[in-house]
Structure 1
Amino acid sequence: MKSTISKVDHYSAEILNRVGEGARVLGALRDSGVNLTALWAYPSKPGKAQLEMIPQSSPGFLKAAKKAGLKLSRKQTAFFVNGQDHPGAVAETLAKLSEAGINVGAVEAVCAGAGRYGAVIFLPQSDIRKASKALGIK
């Protein structure tokens, strides 16, 4: 069961951790026509939350994020993996990275329903080229 793996742009932004702030930011992105491949948010420090975003298209996202008042991190490269869900789906990709001697920084994975899964894999930026080769992508 082959998965599809692609490089994606990853941005972070810190927002206030208060009722409605996430809805405001995501509403502004929506109103600008931005679609996100992945998003997660979590408390980062007292009164603050961290948004982690993988936009489908960075140019439109950057403009919309600025309009929404987000101060974005510098762009990072991550890997988006998706395919038919099965036991060990993410383990297969992580094994390829391990065999190449690459230490994974973080993984976020979810069952997408209808027998599908998706995952975002974060690595040290210095390992992106090596990981691309190990995963068979350009």
Structure 2
Amino acid sequence: KRVEYFKMMVPNRAGQGARALDVLHKAGVNLIAFSGFPQGGGAQMDFIPAKPAAFRKVAKKAKWKIGRSKRAFLVSGDDRVGAGAKLLGKLAERRINVIAIDAVCSGKGRYGALLWVSPTQYARAARALGAR
């Protein structure tokens, strides 16, 4: 599935993620995914909202500096041995470089993965993955 994500840089201090997620919770914004990690001297938070327009509205009201949305993929399926290898193999066959991937098992026989490719390879990756 094609998804939009927004990144926000924050100080790398305790509570930054909790505060941001609380703002979204109180506004009723549902996230498909959230990721946070150290970046430079601070931290980067990536938000993948179910409804990007609702996220933008809340971010603007909260005066967050989020910039333009970017694109990624959300992949899900039945959890089985080799699921990740098959997924990445589809892209490797077409010489599409994966910039980053985060994958998890739900514990209920399903897996999910977020993956990022270069904007110049996004359309090709979408075709390779059968993403809508």
Asked if Structure 1 and Structure 2 have the same fold, meaning a TM-score greater than 0.5 normalized by the shorter chain, the answer is yes
Distance 2:25 2:11 in 1: 19
Q: Does 1:117 align with 2:111?
A: yes
Contact 1:25-1:68 within 8 A present in 2 as well: no
Q: Does 1:8 align with 2:3?
A: yes
1:133 aligned to 114, 127, 132, which one? 127
Which residue is equivalent to 1:41? 36
* TM norm structure 1: 0.88
Which residue is equivalent to 1:50? 44
Identity over the aligned pairs, expressed in percent?
42
Distance 1:39 1:137 in 2: 20
Distance 2:73 2:45 in 1: 18
1:30 aligned to 25, 36, 40, which one? 25
- Write the deviation string for residues 91-125 of structure 1: whole angstroms up to 9, x where unpaired: 11111111111111110111122121110010000
Distance 2:76 2:120 in 1: 23
Q: Which runs of 5+ in 1 are unaligned?
A: 1-5
Runs of 4+ in 1 over 4 A off after TM superposition: none
Count of aligned pairs between the two proteins: 132
Aligned alpha-carbon RMSD (Å): 1.3
Distance 1:136 1:18 in 2: 39
